[in-house]
Structures are given as C-alpha cells and as structure tokens.
Structure 1
Amino acid sequence: MERSVFGGGGVAQSDSISVSAIVAQTVKGSHVLKIDGYSRVKASAGSGKFISSGEFVVGGITWDIRYYPNGCTPKTSGWIGIVLHLKHNHATGVEASYAFSLLDGAGEPVPSYSSGKGTARTFKCADTGFGCRRFIMRKALEGSAYLKDDCFSVRCDVTVSTTAVRIPRSVAVPPPDMHKHIGRLLESQVGTDVTFQVGEETFAAHRLVLAARSPVFMAQLFGPMKERSTGHVRIDDMDPRVFRAMLHFIYTDSLPDMDSGDDARAMAQHLLVAADRYDMERLKLTCEDRLCDNINTGTAATTLVLAELHGSRGLKEACFEFLKSPGNLKATMDCDEFQHLTNSCPSLLSELLANVAP
C-alpha cells in the first residue's frame, strides 16, 4: 500500500489440436490520501479546483487522485469530490475498477462513506478520470469524528484488468454458493432448534445461524436470558412479513423479491428498523440504499425522521440534499407528514434548516 500526503493467444502448430485461452486477470492495489490541513486546503481552492495526490502505480499503470475540497462543479460545491485519474496515454486503454473509502481513526473504512463499489471503467488517455463527485458533504465531515486535528484520510482501492494466455485446466470452479446451501436450511427446516412467535405466525430457525449474523441474537440465544433454555421467543412488535424478510436476509445475505412502489418502500423502512434493533449493519445499509432511491416530496419528511431515530447518516444526508431545492422543501413542508417531523423530532427541524439554508 502506498501513501501520499499534502498540506495546502497463441495457436500451437502440430499434428493434433491444442487449446489455449485468453483469461482475464486482475492486479489490485491501494493508495491512502491524507488531507493534512483540511481548513487551509479548503480555503485555497474554489469550486471545480482540485489538488493532486502523489503518483502511485497499480498493475504497471501510473495513477493519481484529484481532491476537490469545494466540489467538482458549482452544483456540488457543498460536497467533497474524489476522482481517480490516469497519468499517461495507453494505446488500447486501461480497464480498471475503483472504490473510495473514508478512513476512521484506526485506518479502517467507514461503511457509510464508501463509494465506487468496484465499478469497471475504461481509462482511455492521460487525464481520464472517474470517481465520486459527491463523496461526503463538507458539513458532515466537519461535524464527524473522522476529521481530527484538521486531518482526515481517504483510501482508494484500484483493480486493473490484464490478460494472459494459458492452457485451461480441466476443472472448472463454480462461483461461491454458500448462501444457497444456508438458505436451503431455512427452507427445509432441518435441524431447527429455536422458534419465534411473531404475531399469529411461528417461525423455526437455527440458533447458530442467527447468532453468527446478529450480536443481539447471540446474546439472546446463548447469553443468560430465558430464551436460551426455553428455545421459544415471542416478538409482539414486528409484522410477520418483516420478520420473514429479515430471516431471508440472515440466511441468504440478500433481500427477498419485493414489489415496487409504496409497499416496497414501507418494507424497506420496517426492515431498517429491524436491522437497527438486531445490530445487522449490512441489512441496515441495504435498506438505506433502497430508501435513498425513493426520496420525494411525499416521503422526505418521514424518511428523515426514520434516519434520525435509527442513526442512518447516509440516508439523512440524502434527505437534506433533496430538500436543498427550494421547490422540494416547500412541497415537503406542505405535506401532512411534515407535521409528524416537527412533533416527533423538533430538534431535527433546526438541523434541517441549517443544512438547507443557502
């Protein structure tokens, strides 16, 4: 791992047929960019202006990172932008994927501030760049623990695609399918050793699977609680459909198929609450991601309250960004749901106004 800091097929000829294959391979590398003197750097570069990191090499290709302290464009001036750039021309282009992550004090990625997600791009010539133009809002960073002593760090993970010619082996390894096998345990009910009474429905499950996926279930089923001895848990404040969907995620690491529209949004909201209750971070972020795609004038107020009550920082910031439009803010305030926001989270109202004020 490198770091930078700134302050301011061939065919065989023979009597028989031979076989070869062109196989895609990848080379991975990471670069940590430390912004030392965040305030000074922010003051020195206007919107659309960037500061480049030191150069680094991954897969034999030279790269750098461009840091936009006041946004890549005037429309994103309230955001910090991070873009990966190719430094030299390549005749055939370079296929690579990237991911950016904000690092915490221990140097570990912050899940809610990771972007790029390994999207493959073709970098064709020098100065070709791809990245995240809305990486993190400046206000969010400045109010977080990740900006310490006027410094913070971002890691860029780069994967460069290459090709190689080789004779294929006779054994083909299929993609991972553990989730399918664990999912069949839930379907077959073989070996279940705990039951849940949720409303009028009963669900059978496996203690070890639940405990492995949720620290709350670990304490509930293997800690000094009565459910450990009885093997039966009653849940009175959750819809059976929500519990069934949560079980599906626990066993398969994916959400079940859900209809689009209001029902799907409501299910995502209820699942986010359940994920927060059982400390299932991946499920919670999955629900946040779905809800971010369904923010409108009719849902923004209730979504903002949900994000506030359950510590969903990314979802909360998405709502603030939507409400920065005067038209969206006015239409949202005219909805009945906005009264729920003022009644249930009055402190959120002042924070909302502070974030959307021009």
Structure 2
Amino acid sequence: MTSPVCAALDANSSLSASAIVADAVTGSHLLHVEGYSRTRGVPNGMFIRSRPFKVGGCSWCISYYPNGARPNHADFISVFLALDETVAQPMKVHAKFSLLNQVSRQGPSHTRTTALLEYSDRTSGYGYDLIKREFLEKSEYLKDDSIKIKCDVIISKEIHTEDRTAAPPFVVVPSSDMHIHFSNLLATEDGADVKFKVDGETFRAHRYILAVRSPVFKAELLGAMRESTAATGDCIQIDDMVVEVFKSLLHFIYNDSLPEMEGQEEALMAQHLLEAADRYDMQRLKLICEDKLCNHLEVSTVATTLALAEQHNCQGLKEACIEFLISPDALEAVMATDGFEHLTKSCPSLVKELMSELGTRLYKRRKLRA
C-alpha cells in the first residue's frame, strides 16, 4: 500500500523516463553458388571463401564447404561466418544462414542460426552443417545447378542506459492548493463564527477549522467550554500572547506552514510559537519550532532555549542544547551570560542535571579516543 507521503510526492513530481538499450547492428549477404555440381569436387574439410562484405564497419566472408567441414559430415553442405580482419575489441555475433527456395519464391527457406559467438581475429569462423546434399538435390532449393545462401549477421552492442523524453500525460494534476483556499478564507473572514481578542486587537476565525487543528480549541469551541464562550458573545480573550504570535498561530492553522521570517526574528518567533503550540496541543507546530530553534543555537541564547525545552518537554531541543554545550570553550562562554545565571536561579535542578550529563558525555568521548 502506498503511504500518504509517497502519494503526495508522486502527485507533485514530474514525469521522467529512461531506457535500457540492447542495440545491435545488422547486415546481410547473399551468396550465389553457381555450378553447384562442379563444387562437389572440393575435398572434405576444404572451403571456398566468398567475396568480403561489410557489416558494422568490419569485413566478413562466408566459408562454403561443399563436402562438409568435418570427416564425419562429408555428406553435408557446411557454411561458416568468418571475420576477414583483426579487431581491437572482441565482438559478440549471431549468424543466421538461410537456403532460399528458388522455385516457390514465397515458399519456406531452410534456416540455421548460430549461438551468440565471439569474434576477434581472422579465423575459419563459426557455422553449421546447413543441409544434407541428398536432400538438397531433390529440393526446390537447387535450380539450374545453383543455390542461394543468405547470411544475416547480427552484432550485439554494449548494453547501456539512456535518458528518454517522457510522453506528456493526458491529464496534468496540479499540486494541492488547499492551503491557498484556507488562507483566503482567513483573510476574507467569510463565514467566520468566532472572535478572539488579543492585546486589544480582534480576530475573526472559523470554529470548526480551529477545532480540527487543536484539541484545546475543540474543547473550547465545540465541547463543554462552549457555553462559557457563548455567554461572552463568542469573543474569547487570549492572555499572555502578543498579536504577532497569534497571527502566526492562525497562519499555521489555516496554511500548515509558518510565515516567512529570517534570522533572529525567526528564532524569537519560534520560541513564542513553541509555547503557543504546547498550550493548544499542536504537536506538529511544536516540532517545527523545536527544529528551527535547534538551527539557531548561540552562546547568548542556548541557556534560555534549554530552559524553554525543559519547561515544555522538548527532548530533541534539550539534546541539541546539551550537545552545543559539550565543548569546554562553549560552556565557559555560556556560563558567563545572563541567561545562564537566570537558569541557575530558576532551574537549579536542570543545571545539576546538565553538569552531570556533560561530565558523562565528555568521559565517554575521551574513553573512545583512548
């Protein structure tokens, strides 16, 4: 079963294509044997060579044995494909020999095909006993004391991969634009049915959207707490939160993303939003804020961030702070800050845990290096 994440990636990805190519170079040569009966005087094991012909940029020829290539096959006609030169790299080749029907032009040919063989220099080649002479001389392959032998040469090239231009799909499905519609809904306030007052400023929103995004909002707007909010005209007072943080919280609820911010502004907003995410039980937002704070750890802020991680049970962020402090130089610099002094007064147990953990980790690292 495809996961929702993979399905989303597939929907947003462009179509590409490639090919595994097993190319071959082909060519044919038609050998006429005229005066067939007179060629029977050639001894067993001896051959008559055709004129050279080119296939795949190399010179080839056919060796025709009127009385077979081997002593125990003297009653056969044998044909071999031979390379008429030496090549730098061995070639893998199939040879197909066909004795053509000369009376019924649409009639069947008598065919033999070699296995895939390797050619590298001029030799007697590889081939087959094509047909018994007794059978040949009573067949339609012999006409006016002549026969025709067609040789198809198939040279296999190196198997390789290539890029391909994918055929455009009949239907192009665009990326999801749900967040745009929800963002517009927040901006226009169409259908808004709940009001919030934050630091003197009023915000209108949609109770069902808030409820599906936050268990706390769900209890407050749809659960047992609803009667108390209705009594105040559905205007909910939000204390201990500044306007910009509440705006960012609503932006995340409707867009599933944070507004664009940079540097210290992003780090400060992440701190405040982490508290808001914990307050409204929004775990994804909480993890996003943790991740951003992990990327903004500095000597001047790490003590404050560590206290925040402890207060809101952010284990990943706490680990990042401890890892930042494990350097003796960093620890000494942090201990000189006002943030660390405040940490020792407000969370003495955390400082004790920190020192114990740093000592344990430093000991383990020194032991590994020894």
Which residue does the alignment assign to 2:261? 258
> 1:264 Cα deviation (Å)?
2.5
Aligned to 1:245: 248
* 1:22–1:165 contact (8 Å) kept in structure 2: no
1:188-234 deviation per Cα after TM superposition (whole angstroms, max 9, x unaligned)? 11000000000111110000110010000000001111125532100
**For 1:153-164, what aligned pairs fall within 5 Å after superposition?**
none
Post-superposition shift, 1:260?
2.2
- After superposition, residues 252-291 of structure 1 pair within 5 angstroms as 252-261=255-264, 263-291=265-293
Give the alignment of 1:77-226 within 5 angstroms. 167-225=167-225, 226=228
> Unmatched 5+ residue regions in structure 2?
2-13, 19-162, 363-370
In the other structure, the counterpart of 1:60 is none
Letter in 1 for 2:356: A
Q: Deviations over 1:60-84 (max 9, x none)?
A: xxxxxxxxxxxxxxxxxxxxxxxxx
Shift of 1:165: 7.6
Match of 1:292 among 291, 294, 300: 294
SS in 2 for 1:305: helix
Q: CA deviation at 1:167?
A: 4.0
TM-score (norm 2): 0.52
Q: Retained in 2: the 8 A contact 1:301–1:338?
A: yes
Q: CA deviation at 1:269?
A: 0.4
Post-superposition CA distance 1:262-318 (Å, at most 9, x none): x32211100100000000111111111111111111111000000000011110000
8 Å CA contact retained: 1:194, 1:231: yes
Instruction: For residue 174 of structure 1, give the secondary structure of its aligned residue in structure 2.
Output: coil
**Could you say what secondary structure the match of 1:203 adopts?**
strand
User: How much does 1:242 deviate?
Assistant: 0.3
Residue 333 of structure 1 deviates from its aligned partner by 0.5
**Could you tell me how far apart the structure 1 residues matched to 2:184 and 2:258 are?**
15
What's 1:123 paired with?
none
| Structure 2 counterpart of 1:313, from 301, 312, 315 | 315
User: Structure 2 counterpart of 1:218, which letter?
Assistant: K
Per the alignment, residue 354 of structure 1 pairs with: 356
Show the counterpart of 2:16: 23
**SS of corresponding position for 1:186:** helix
Check 1:180–1:22 CA distance in 2 against 1; reply closer, same or farther (3 A cut).
closer
TM-score w.r.t. structure 1 length? Answer: 0.53
Hey, what's the Cα distance between the residues in 2 that align with 1:179 and 1:317? Answer: 33
Residue type at the aligned position of 1:235? I
What is the alpha-carbon distance in structure 1 between the residues aligned to residue 243 and residue 350 of structure 2?
Answer: 31
Distance of aligned partners of 1:22 and 1:186 in 2 relative to their CA distance in 1, 3 Å threshold: closer
Q: In the alignment, which residue of structure 2 is the partner of 1:231?
A: 234
Contact 1:300 1:319 in 2 (8 A): yes
The alpha-carbon deviation at position 170 of structure 1 amounts to 2.5
* 1:340 correspondence with 2:347: no
Which SS does the other structure have where 2:16 is aligned?
A: strand
- Give the number of equivalent residue pairs: 202
Q: 1: distance between equivalents of 2:223 and 2:238?
A: 18
Verify the 8 A CA contact 1:222 1:228 in the aligned structure 2. no
Moved more, 345-354 or 213-222: 345-354
1:23 deviates by 2.6
Q: Looking at secondary structure, tell me which structure has more strand per residue.
A: 1
The percentage of counterpart residues that share the same residue type is: 53
SS at match of 2:190: coil
TM superposition shift of 1:166: 6.0
Contact 1:22 1:166 in 2 (8 A): yes
Report how far residue 237 of structure 1 moved: 1.0
When residues 189 and 296 of structure 1 are mapped into structure 2, their CA distance, relative to the original with a 3 A threshold, is same
Q: 1:294 & 1:257 partners in 2: Cα distance?
A: 16
